[in-house]
A and B are shown apart, each in its own frame.
Chain A
Amino acid sequence: MTVIIVIVVVVVLLIAIGAAMYNGLVRLNQQSNEAWSDITVQLKRRADLIPNLVNTVKGYASHEKSVFEDVTAARANTLSAQTPGEAGKAEGDFQKTLKSLFAVAEAYPDLKASQNFQELQAELTDTEDKIQASRRFYNGVVRDFNTKRKTFPTNIFAGMLGFKQDKEFFEVDEAEAAAVAQPVDVKF
Protein backbone atom coordinates (compact mmCIF):
# COMPACT_ATOMS: atom_id res chain seq x y z
CA MET A 1 0.00 0.00 0.00
CA THR A 2 2.72 2.46 1.04
CA VAL A 3 4.66 1.59 -2.11
CA ILE A 4 1.71 2.72 -4.23
CA ILE A 5 1.42 5.99 -2.31
CA VAL A 6 5.12 6.67 -2.74
CA ILE A 7 4.91 5.98 -6.47
CA VAL A 8 1.89 8.25 -6.85
CA VAL A 9 3.64 11.06 -4.95
CA VAL A 10 6.77 10.71 -7.07
CA VAL A 11 4.76 10.75 -10.30
CA VAL A 12 2.82 13.82 -9.20
CA LEU A 13 6.08 15.59 -8.29
CA LEU A 14 7.61 14.76 -11.66
CA ILE A 15 4.56 16.08 -13.48
CA ALA A 16 4.64 19.25 -11.39
CA ILE A 17 8.32 19.82 -12.13
CA GLY A 18 7.79 19.12 -15.83
CA ALA A 19 4.87 21.53 -15.96
CA ALA A 20 6.93 24.23 -14.27
CA MET A 21 9.73 23.76 -16.81
CA TYR A 22 7.37 23.87 -19.77
CA ASN A 23 5.49 26.90 -18.48
CA GLY A 24 8.72 28.74 -17.77
CA LEU A 25 9.91 28.19 -21.34
CA VAL A 26 6.54 29.19 -22.79
CA ARG A 27 6.49 32.37 -20.70
CA LEU A 28 9.97 33.44 -21.78
CA ASN A 29 9.17 32.57 -25.38
CA GLN A 30 6.08 34.78 -25.33
CA GLN A 31 7.95 37.59 -23.62
CA SER A 32 10.62 37.55 -26.29
CA ASN A 33 7.96 37.62 -29.03
CA GLU A 34 6.40 40.62 -27.36
CA ALA A 35 9.79 42.30 -26.98
CA TRP A 36 10.42 41.80 -30.70
CA SER A 37 7.05 43.36 -31.51
CA ASP A 38 7.88 46.29 -29.29
CA ILE A 39 11.02 47.00 -31.32
CA THR A 40 8.77 47.10 -34.38
CA VAL A 41 6.45 49.54 -32.58
CA GLN A 42 9.36 51.91 -31.97
CA LEU A 43 10.62 51.54 -35.54
CA LYS A 44 7.14 52.38 -36.78
CA ARG A 45 7.10 55.47 -34.60
CA ARG A 46 10.35 56.59 -36.19
CA ALA A 47 9.03 55.76 -39.65
CA ASP A 48 6.00 57.96 -38.95
CA LEU A 49 8.22 60.90 -38.04
CA ILE A 50 10.16 60.70 -41.29
CA PRO A 51 7.59 62.09 -43.78
CA ASN A 52 7.18 65.14 -41.54
CA LEU A 53 10.93 65.60 -41.43
CA VAL A 54 11.30 65.21 -45.19
CA ASN A 55 8.56 67.76 -45.82
CA THR A 56 10.11 70.29 -43.45
CA VAL A 57 13.49 69.97 -45.18
CA LYS A 58 11.83 70.11 -48.62
CA GLY A 59 10.29 73.43 -47.63
CA TYR A 60 13.77 74.93 -47.51
CA ALA A 61 15.78 72.79 -49.93
CA SER A 62 13.37 71.55 -52.57
CA HIS A 63 15.91 70.70 -55.26
CA GLU A 64 17.81 68.01 -53.28
CA LYS A 65 15.51 65.36 -54.80
CA SER A 66 17.75 62.28 -54.69
CA VAL A 67 18.26 62.60 -50.94
CA PHE A 68 14.48 62.61 -50.30
CA GLU A 69 13.92 59.63 -52.55
CA ASP A 70 16.69 57.64 -50.85
CA VAL A 71 15.31 58.32 -47.39
CA THR A 72 11.79 57.33 -48.40
CA ALA A 73 12.96 54.09 -50.04
CA ALA A 74 15.16 53.12 -47.08
CA ARG A 75 12.25 53.83 -44.73
CA ALA A 76 10.04 51.45 -46.68
CA ASN A 77 12.69 48.73 -46.41
CA THR A 78 12.92 48.96 -42.64
CA LEU A 79 9.16 48.53 -42.40
CA SER A 80 9.14 45.42 -44.58
CA ALA A 81 12.10 43.52 -43.02
CA GLN A 82 11.14 40.06 -41.72
CA THR A 83 14.01 38.50 -39.74
CA PRO A 84 16.32 40.17 -37.22
CA GLY A 85 19.12 39.76 -39.77
CA GLU A 86 17.21 41.55 -42.56
CA ALA A 87 16.15 44.24 -40.12
CA GLY A 88 19.75 44.89 -39.14
CA LYS A 89 20.75 45.44 -42.77
CA ALA A 90 17.78 47.67 -43.58
CA GLU A 91 18.61 49.66 -40.48
CA GLY A 92 22.18 50.28 -41.65
CA ASP A 93 21.00 51.60 -45.03
CA PHE A 94 18.38 53.80 -43.38
CA GLN A 95 20.94 55.39 -41.06
CA LYS A 96 23.12 56.30 -44.05
CA THR A 97 20.29 58.05 -45.88
CA LEU A 98 19.28 59.92 -42.73
CA LYS A 99 22.85 61.14 -42.35
CA SER A 100 22.70 62.55 -45.89
CA LEU A 101 19.42 64.30 -45.07
CA PHE A 102 20.88 65.98 -42.01
CA ALA A 103 24.02 66.88 -43.97
CA VAL A 104 21.73 68.73 -46.40
CA ALA A 105 20.12 70.54 -43.48
CA GLU A 106 23.58 71.72 -42.34
CA ALA A 107 23.86 73.82 -45.51
CA TYR A 108 20.61 75.74 -44.87
CA PRO A 109 20.82 77.95 -41.73
CA ASP A 110 17.15 78.99 -41.94
CA LEU A 111 16.11 75.36 -41.79
CA LYS A 112 18.40 74.62 -38.85
CA ALA A 113 16.94 77.55 -36.93
CA SER A 114 13.31 76.64 -37.53
CA GLN A 115 11.35 75.54 -34.45
CA ASN A 116 9.68 72.73 -36.38
CA PHE A 117 12.96 71.23 -37.48
CA GLN A 118 14.45 71.39 -34.01
CA GLU A 119 11.46 69.70 -32.44
CA LEU A 120 11.57 66.97 -35.06
CA GLN A 121 15.26 66.48 -34.37
CA ALA A 122 14.56 66.13 -30.64
CA GLU A 123 11.76 63.64 -31.32
CA LEU A 124 13.99 61.68 -33.67
CA THR A 125 16.79 61.50 -31.11
CA ASP A 126 14.32 60.35 -28.49
CA THR A 127 12.96 57.72 -30.88
CA GLU A 128 16.46 56.39 -31.47
CA ASP A 129 16.86 56.11 -27.68
CA LYS A 130 13.57 54.23 -27.51
CA ILE A 131 14.65 51.86 -30.27
CA GLN A 132 17.86 51.18 -28.38
CA ALA A 133 15.92 50.63 -25.16
CA SER A 134 13.53 48.15 -26.75
CA ARG A 135 16.39 46.26 -28.42
CA ARG A 136 18.25 46.05 -25.13
CA PHE A 137 15.15 44.65 -23.45
CA TYR A 138 14.66 42.16 -26.29
CA ASN A 139 18.25 40.95 -25.93
CA GLY A 140 17.75 40.58 -22.17
CA VAL A 141 14.70 38.39 -22.63
CA VAL A 142 16.44 36.30 -25.33
CA ARG A 143 19.38 35.83 -22.99
CA ASP A 144 17.04 34.58 -20.24
CA PHE A 145 15.26 32.22 -22.64
CA ASN A 146 18.48 30.77 -24.07
CA THR A 147 19.96 30.38 -20.60
CA LYS A 148 16.91 28.57 -19.30
CA ARG A 149 16.79 26.35 -22.36
CA LYS A 150 20.40 25.32 -21.88
CA THR A 151 20.76 24.99 -18.12
CA PHE A 152 20.23 21.82 -16.14
CA PRO A 153 17.66 20.29 -15.62
CA THR A 154 15.54 22.05 -18.24
CA ASN A 155 18.03 21.34 -21.03
CA ILE A 156 17.24 17.62 -20.90
CA PHE A 157 13.59 18.15 -21.73
CA ALA A 158 13.64 21.37 -23.72
CA GLY A 159 13.91 19.60 -27.08
CA MET A 160 11.10 17.21 -26.21
CA LEU A 161 8.86 20.06 -25.11
CA GLY A 162 9.21 21.76 -28.47
CA PHE A 163 11.92 24.36 -27.78
CA LYS A 164 14.58 23.07 -30.09
CA GLN A 165 16.45 26.27 -30.90
CA ASP A 166 17.96 29.28 -29.23
CA LYS A 167 16.58 32.63 -30.30
CA GLU A 168 18.84 35.11 -32.02
CA PHE A 169 20.00 38.23 -30.34
CA PHE A 170 19.43 41.50 -32.12
CA GLU A 171 22.67 42.06 -33.98
CA VAL A 172 23.87 44.37 -36.71
CA ASP A 173 25.18 42.84 -39.95
CA GLU A 174 28.94 42.47 -40.48
CA ALA A 175 29.41 45.56 -42.62
CA GLU A 176 27.74 47.82 -40.10
CA ALA A 177 29.47 46.10 -37.18
CA ALA A 178 32.82 46.84 -38.83
CA ALA A 179 31.75 50.42 -39.49
CA VAL A 180 30.60 51.14 -35.93
CA ALA A 181 33.69 49.50 -34.46
CA GLN A 182 35.80 52.28 -35.96
CA PRO A 183 36.36 55.34 -33.77
CA VAL A 184 34.02 58.15 -34.78
CA ASP A 185 35.55 60.83 -36.96
CA VAL A 186 34.55 64.27 -35.65
CA LYS A 187 35.35 67.01 -38.14
CA PHE A 188 34.35 70.62 -37.69
Chain B
Amino acid sequence: MYSDIAANKRKTVIIMLVFLVFVTLVIWIFDKYLGGSTGVFYGGLIGACVYAVVTYYAGSKMALAVNQAQEIQKRDNPRLWRIVENLSITDGLPMPKVYIMNDPAPNAFATGRDPKHAAVCATTGVLDMMNDEELQGVLAHELSHIKNYDIRVSMIAFALTAVISLIADIIIRLTWFGGGDREENNQVFMILGIVAAILAPIVATLIQLAVSRQREYLADASGALTTRYPEALASALEKIKQTGSVARHQNTATAHLFFVNPLKAHSLAGLFSTHPPIDDRIARLRSMGTHA
Protein backbone atom coordinates (compact mmCIF):
# COMPACT_ATOMS: atom_id res chain seq x y z
CA MET B 1 0.00 0.00 0.00
CA TYR B 2 2.73 2.46 0.93
CA SER B 3 4.48 1.93 -2.39
CA ASP B 4 1.20 2.42 -4.29
CA ILE B 5 0.67 5.72 -2.50
CA ALA B 6 4.21 6.90 -3.21
CA ALA B 7 3.97 5.89 -6.88
CA ASN B 8 0.65 7.70 -7.32
CA LYS B 9 1.97 10.89 -5.76
CA ARG B 10 5.02 10.82 -8.04
CA LYS B 11 2.86 10.30 -11.11
CA THR B 12 0.64 13.23 -10.18
CA VAL B 13 3.65 15.52 -9.79
CA ILE B 14 5.01 14.43 -13.17
CA ILE B 15 1.65 14.96 -14.87
CA MET B 16 1.27 18.42 -13.31
CA LEU B 17 4.79 19.41 -14.39
CA VAL B 18 4.05 18.27 -17.94
CA PHE B 19 0.85 20.30 -17.75
CA LEU B 20 2.70 23.44 -16.64
CA VAL B 21 5.32 23.06 -19.36
CA PHE B 22 2.51 22.57 -21.87
CA VAL B 23 0.67 25.68 -20.70
CA THR B 24 3.85 27.77 -20.83
CA LEU B 25 4.55 26.54 -24.35
CA VAL B 26 1.03 27.35 -25.50
CA ILE B 27 1.16 30.84 -23.98
CA TRP B 28 4.53 31.44 -25.66
CA ILE B 29 3.19 30.38 -29.07
CA PHE B 30 0.13 32.55 -28.71
CA ASP B 31 2.21 35.48 -27.56
CA LYS B 32 4.36 35.26 -30.69
CA TYR B 33 1.25 34.78 -32.78
CA LEU B 34 -0.37 37.90 -31.47
CA GLY B 35 2.71 40.04 -32.09
CA GLY B 36 1.63 43.29 -30.48
CA SER B 37 -2.03 42.95 -29.48
CA THR B 38 -1.51 41.39 -26.09
CA GLY B 39 -3.90 43.61 -24.12
CA VAL B 40 -6.91 41.39 -24.69
CA PHE B 41 -4.76 38.33 -24.06
CA TYR B 42 -3.62 39.35 -20.60
CA GLY B 43 -7.07 40.67 -19.77
CA GLY B 44 -8.52 37.25 -20.56
CA LEU B 45 -5.81 35.53 -18.55
CA ILE B 46 -6.62 37.60 -15.48
CA GLY B 47 -10.32 36.88 -15.98
CA ALA B 48 -9.65 33.14 -16.06
CA CYS B 49 -7.58 33.35 -12.87
CA VAL B 50 -10.32 35.27 -11.03
CA TYR B 51 -12.82 32.66 -12.17
CA ALA B 52 -10.56 29.88 -10.88
CA VAL B 53 -10.18 31.58 -7.48
CA VAL B 54 -13.94 32.09 -7.10
CA THR B 55 -14.60 28.43 -7.98
CA TYR B 56 -11.96 27.39 -5.44
CA TYR B 57 -13.75 29.10 -2.57
CA ALA B 58 -17.37 28.55 -3.60
CA GLY B 59 -16.84 25.17 -5.23
CA SER B 60 -17.90 22.88 -2.38
CA LYS B 61 -21.15 24.68 -1.69
CA MET B 62 -21.97 24.58 -5.39
CA ALA B 63 -21.16 20.88 -5.66
CA LEU B 64 -23.42 20.05 -2.71
CA ALA B 65 -26.29 22.28 -3.85
CA VAL B 66 -26.26 21.00 -7.42
CA ASN B 67 -26.60 17.44 -6.18
CA GLN B 68 -29.36 18.36 -3.70
CA ALA B 69 -27.44 17.01 -0.75
CA GLN B 70 -28.98 17.30 2.72
CA GLU B 71 -26.78 17.82 5.75
CA ILE B 72 -27.37 15.33 8.57
CA GLN B 73 -26.53 15.08 12.25
CA LYS B 74 -25.72 12.00 14.32
CA ARG B 75 -29.33 11.17 15.20
CA ASP B 76 -30.43 11.20 11.53
CA ASN B 77 -28.15 8.34 10.57
CA PRO B 78 -25.95 7.13 13.44
CA ARG B 79 -24.40 4.40 11.29
CA LEU B 80 -23.04 6.81 8.65
CA TRP B 81 -22.08 9.37 11.28
CA ARG B 82 -20.11 6.91 13.40
CA ILE B 83 -18.25 5.51 10.39
CA VAL B 84 -17.21 9.00 9.23
CA GLU B 85 -16.29 10.02 12.78
CA ASN B 86 -14.13 6.96 13.42
CA LEU B 87 -12.39 7.24 10.07
CA SER B 88 -11.57 10.89 10.77
CA ILE B 89 -9.95 9.86 14.03
CA THR B 90 -7.88 7.20 12.24
CA ASP B 91 -6.76 9.73 9.64
CA GLY B 92 -6.15 12.50 12.15
CA LEU B 93 -8.51 14.85 10.31
CA PRO B 94 -11.18 17.15 11.73
CA MET B 95 -14.55 15.55 11.11
CA PRO B 96 -16.09 16.75 7.84
CA LYS B 97 -19.76 17.70 7.50
CA VAL B 98 -21.92 14.74 6.51
CA TYR B 99 -24.54 14.89 3.77
CA ILE B 100 -26.97 12.42 2.25
CA MET B 101 -28.17 12.53 -1.35
CA ASN B 102 -31.43 10.92 -2.38
CA ASP B 103 -30.50 8.60 -5.25
CA PRO B 104 -30.81 4.83 -5.64
CA ALA B 105 -27.45 4.62 -7.45
CA PRO B 106 -24.72 3.63 -4.99
CA ASN B 107 -22.15 6.43 -4.85
CA ALA B 108 -20.44 8.96 -2.62
CA PHE B 109 -18.37 12.10 -3.01
CA ALA B 110 -16.17 14.40 -1.02
CA THR B 111 -15.58 18.08 -1.49
CA GLY B 112 -13.66 20.85 0.26
CA ARG B 113 -10.44 22.72 -0.47
CA ASP B 114 -8.78 21.58 2.75
CA PRO B 115 -9.64 19.31 5.69
CA LYS B 116 -11.08 22.18 7.74
CA HIS B 117 -13.71 23.03 5.12
CA ALA B 118 -14.65 19.56 3.97
CA ALA B 119 -17.84 17.60 3.43
CA VAL B 120 -18.70 14.02 2.45
CA CYS B 121 -21.94 12.97 0.84
CA ALA B 122 -23.36 9.46 0.42
CA THR B 123 -26.35 8.42 -1.69
CA THR B 124 -29.27 6.57 -0.13
CA GLY B 125 -28.38 3.81 -2.60
CA VAL B 126 -24.92 3.21 -1.17
CA LEU B 127 -26.23 3.26 2.41
CA ASP B 128 -28.74 0.51 1.56
CA MET B 129 -26.49 -1.65 -0.58
CA MET B 130 -23.25 -1.88 1.40
CA ASN B 131 -22.54 -3.66 4.65
CA ASP B 132 -20.64 -1.77 7.36
CA GLU B 133 -17.15 -2.74 6.19
CA GLU B 134 -17.83 -1.89 2.56
CA LEU B 135 -19.38 1.45 3.52
CA GLN B 136 -16.31 2.10 5.64
CA GLY B 137 -14.09 1.36 2.61
CA VAL B 138 -16.06 3.76 0.40
CA LEU B 139 -15.97 6.56 2.96
CA ALA B 140 -12.27 5.94 3.68
CA HIS B 141 -11.68 6.51 -0.05
CA GLU B 142 -13.61 9.79 0.12
CA LEU B 143 -11.80 10.98 3.24
CA SER B 144 -8.51 10.21 1.50
CA HIS B 145 -9.46 12.68 -1.21
CA ILE B 146 -9.78 15.30 1.50
CA LYS B 147 -6.58 14.23 3.27
CA ASN B 148 -4.55 14.27 0.06
CA TYR B 149 -5.87 17.69 -0.95
CA ASP B 150 -7.21 16.19 -4.18
CA ILE B 151 -9.87 18.82 -4.48
CA ARG B 152 -7.16 21.46 -4.52
CA VAL B 153 -5.13 19.53 -7.11
CA SER B 154 -8.11 19.16 -9.39
CA MET B 155 -8.94 22.87 -8.95
CA ILE B 156 -5.47 23.76 -10.17
CA ALA B 157 -5.77 21.35 -13.10
CA PHE B 158 -9.18 22.77 -13.89
CA ALA B 159 -7.87 26.35 -13.71
CA LEU B 160 -5.03 25.54 -16.11
CA THR B 161 -7.50 23.94 -18.51
CA ALA B 162 -9.80 26.94 -18.27
CA VAL B 163 -6.90 29.30 -19.02
CA ILE B 164 -5.91 27.33 -22.10
CA SER B 165 -9.46 27.08 -23.36
CA LEU B 166 -9.93 30.80 -22.91
CA ILE B 167 -6.71 31.63 -24.76
CA ALA B 168 -7.66 29.29 -27.60
CA ASP B 169 -11.07 30.89 -27.81
CA ILE B 170 -9.57 34.39 -28.01
CA ILE B 171 -7.11 33.34 -30.70
CA ILE B 172 -9.81 31.85 -32.86
CA ARG B 173 -11.99 34.93 -32.54
CA LEU B 174 -9.08 37.23 -33.36
CA THR B 175 -8.25 35.19 -36.45
CA TRP B 176 -11.85 35.10 -37.56
CA PHE B 177 -12.41 38.80 -37.23
CA GLY B 178 -8.86 39.66 -38.37
CA GLY B 179 -7.32 42.10 -35.90
CA GLY B 180 -3.91 43.75 -35.51
CA ASP B 181 -0.92 44.00 -37.79
CA ARG B 182 0.93 40.86 -38.51
CA GLU B 183 4.48 40.95 -39.84
CA GLU B 184 5.97 38.46 -42.26
CA ASN B 185 7.97 36.53 -39.71
CA ASN B 186 4.81 35.67 -37.79
CA GLN B 187 3.53 33.43 -40.62
CA VAL B 188 4.87 30.24 -39.02
CA PHE B 189 3.34 31.23 -35.73
CA MET B 190 0.03 31.91 -37.44
CA ILE B 191 -0.18 28.28 -38.50
CA LEU B 192 1.05 27.02 -35.16
CA GLY B 193 -1.35 29.35 -33.43
CA ILE B 194 -4.41 28.03 -35.24
CA VAL B 195 -3.39 24.41 -34.72
CA ALA B 196 -2.66 25.05 -31.08
CA ALA B 197 -5.95 26.86 -30.62
CA ILE B 198 -7.83 23.82 -31.81
CA LEU B 199 -5.76 21.13 -30.14
CA ALA B 200 -4.78 22.82 -26.91
CA PRO B 201 -8.14 22.61 -25.10
CA ILE B 202 -8.41 18.93 -26.00
CA VAL B 203 -4.91 18.14 -24.77
CA ALA B 204 -5.52 20.15 -21.62
CA THR B 205 -8.70 18.20 -20.92
CA LEU B 206 -6.91 14.90 -21.46
CA ILE B 207 -4.21 15.91 -19.01
CA GLN B 208 -6.79 17.03 -16.47
CA LEU B 209 -8.57 13.69 -16.77
CA ALA B 210 -5.27 11.80 -16.42
CA VAL B 211 -4.66 13.68 -13.16
CA SER B 212 -8.18 12.83 -12.02
CA ARG B 213 -7.70 9.10 -12.70
CA GLN B 214 -4.35 9.07 -10.91
CA ARG B 215 -5.90 10.68 -7.85
CA GLU B 216 -8.66 8.06 -7.85
CA TYR B 217 -6.05 5.28 -7.63
CA LEU B 218 -4.33 7.24 -4.88
CA ALA B 219 -7.57 7.58 -2.92
CA ASP B 220 -8.18 3.81 -3.26
CA ALA B 221 -4.71 3.06 -1.90
CA SER B 222 -4.94 5.65 0.91
CA GLY B 223 -8.38 4.43 1.88
CA ALA B 224 -7.12 0.85 2.00
CA LEU B 225 -4.25 1.97 4.24
CA THR B 226 -6.65 3.74 6.61
CA THR B 227 -8.87 0.69 7.04
CA ARG B 228 -6.00 -1.82 6.62
CA TYR B 229 -8.61 -3.86 4.70
CA PRO B 230 -8.51 -3.38 0.91
CA GLU B 231 -10.85 -6.33 0.32
CA ALA B 232 -13.82 -4.37 1.72
CA LEU B 233 -13.32 -1.64 -0.86
CA ALA B 234 -12.82 -4.21 -3.64
CA SER B 235 -16.06 -5.91 -2.57
CA ALA B 236 -17.92 -2.57 -2.62
CA LEU B 237 -16.65 -1.92 -6.15
CA GLU B 238 -17.79 -5.41 -7.21
CA LYS B 239 -21.30 -4.67 -5.97
CA ILE B 240 -21.36 -1.37 -7.82
CA LYS B 241 -20.10 -3.07 -10.96
CA GLN B 242 -23.06 -5.46 -10.79
CA THR B 243 -25.74 -2.84 -10.33
CA GLY B 244 -24.26 0.08 -12.23
CA SER B 245 -23.81 3.56 -10.87
CA VAL B 246 -25.72 5.83 -13.26
CA ALA B 247 -27.24 8.56 -11.14
CA ARG B 248 -30.78 9.75 -11.63
CA HIS B 249 -29.62 13.33 -11.85
CA GLN B 250 -26.80 13.80 -14.37
CA ASN B 251 -24.31 16.59 -13.81
CA THR B 252 -21.02 16.67 -15.71
CA ALA B 253 -19.52 19.45 -13.62
CA THR B 254 -19.38 17.41 -10.42
CA ALA B 255 -18.95 13.94 -11.96
CA HIS B 256 -15.22 13.80 -11.18
CA LEU B 257 -15.86 14.16 -7.46
CA PHE B 258 -17.77 10.88 -7.13
CA PHE B 259 -16.57 7.45 -6.01
CA VAL B 260 -17.49 5.87 -9.36
CA ASN B 261 -18.51 7.57 -12.58
CA PRO B 262 -22.16 8.67 -12.24
CA LEU B 263 -22.53 9.53 -15.91
CA LYS B 264 -24.02 7.33 -18.59
CA ALA B 265 -21.31 5.53 -20.53
CA HIS B 266 -20.05 6.89 -23.83
CA SER B 267 -17.72 5.25 -26.33
CA LEU B 268 -14.09 6.42 -26.26
CA ALA B 269 -14.65 6.10 -22.52
CA GLY B 270 -11.02 5.30 -21.76
CA LEU B 271 -9.14 8.58 -22.23
CA PHE B 272 -12.12 10.79 -21.54
CA SER B 273 -13.14 9.24 -18.27
CA THR B 274 -12.66 10.93 -14.92
CA HIS B 275 -12.38 7.52 -13.24
CA PRO B 276 -10.21 4.50 -14.01
CA PRO B 277 -11.99 1.31 -15.13
CA ILE B 278 -13.61 -0.52 -12.20
CA ASP B 279 -11.92 -3.85 -13.02
CA ASP B 280 -8.53 -2.17 -12.85
CA ARG B 281 -9.32 -0.64 -9.46
CA ILE B 282 -10.52 -3.97 -8.06
CA ALA B 283 -7.40 -5.76 -9.36
CA ARG B 284 -5.07 -3.18 -7.81
CA LEU B 285 -6.85 -3.32 -4.46
CA ARG B 286 -6.72 -7.11 -4.37
CA SER B 287 -3.00 -7.09 -5.12
CA MET B 288 -2.31 -4.75 -2.18
CA GLY B 289 -2.38 -7.65 0.21
CA THR B 290 0.70 -9.06 -1.50
CA HIS B 291 3.15 -6.19 -1.21
CA ALA B 292 4.03 -3.35 1.18
Q: Do A and B bind each other?
A: yes
Task: List the count of A-B residue pairs having beta carbons below 8 Å apart.
Answer: 26
| Residue contact A137 to B82, C-beta cutoff 8 Å | no
Q: How close is A132's CB to chain B, nearest CB, in angstroms? A: 8
Chief secondary structure at chain B's binding surface: helix
* Contact across chains for A133 and B90 when beta carbons are under 8 A apart: yes
Closest B residue to A34 using CB positions: B92
User: Are the CB atoms of A129 and B82 closer together than 8 Å?
Assistant: yes
Contact partner, A35, options B78, B82, B92, Cβ 8 Å: B92
> CB-CB contacts of A30-52 with B at 8 A, as 1s and 0s?
01000100100010000000000
| Interface residues contributed by chain B, number (CB under 8 Å) | 10
Interface of A is mostly: helix
Interchain nearest-CB distance for B173 vs A (Å): 48
| Closest Cβ–Cβ distance, residue A72 to chain B (whole Å) | 27
Indicate if B89 sits at the interface (CB-CB under 8 A).
yes
Which residues in chain B, 147-161, are within 8 Å of chain A measured between CB atoms?
A: none
Distance, CA A35 to CA B87, complexed state (A): 14
Whether a CB of chain A sits under 8 angstroms from the CB of B77 is no
Contact B92 A130 (CB under 8 A): no
Q: From residue B138, how far is it (CB to closest CB) to chain A in Å?
A: 17
Contacts of B89 in A (CB 8 A): 38, 42, 130, 133-134, 137
Which A86-137 residues have C-beta < 8 A from chain B? 122, 126, 129-130, 133-134, 136-137
Residue A142 is within 8 A (CB to CB) of chain B in the complex: no
Cβ 8 A contact of B86, one of A31, A35, A129, A141? A129
Query: Once the chains bind, are B91 and A130 in contact (CB under 8 Å)?
Result: no
Residues in B neighbouring A126, C-beta threshold 8 A: 82, 86
**Can you list 26 residue pairs at the A/B interface with Cβ under 8 Å?**
A31-B92, A35-B92, A38-B89, A42-B89, A122-B78, A126-B82, A126-B86, A129-B82, A129-B86, A130-B85, A130-B86, A130-B89, A133-B86, A133-B87, A133-B89, A133-B90, A134-B89, A134-B90, A136-B90, A136-B228, A137-B89, A137-B90, A137-B91, A137-B92, A140-B92, A141-B92
**Which A residues form the contact surface with B (CB < 8 A)?**
31, 35, 38, 42, 122, 126, 129-130, 133-134, 136-137, 140-141
Q: Besides A42-B89, A137-B89, 13 other CB < 8 A contacts? A: A35-B92, A38-B89, A122-B78, A126-B86, A129-B86, A130-B85, A130-B86, A133-B87, A137-B90, A137-B91, A137-B92, A140-B92, A141-B92
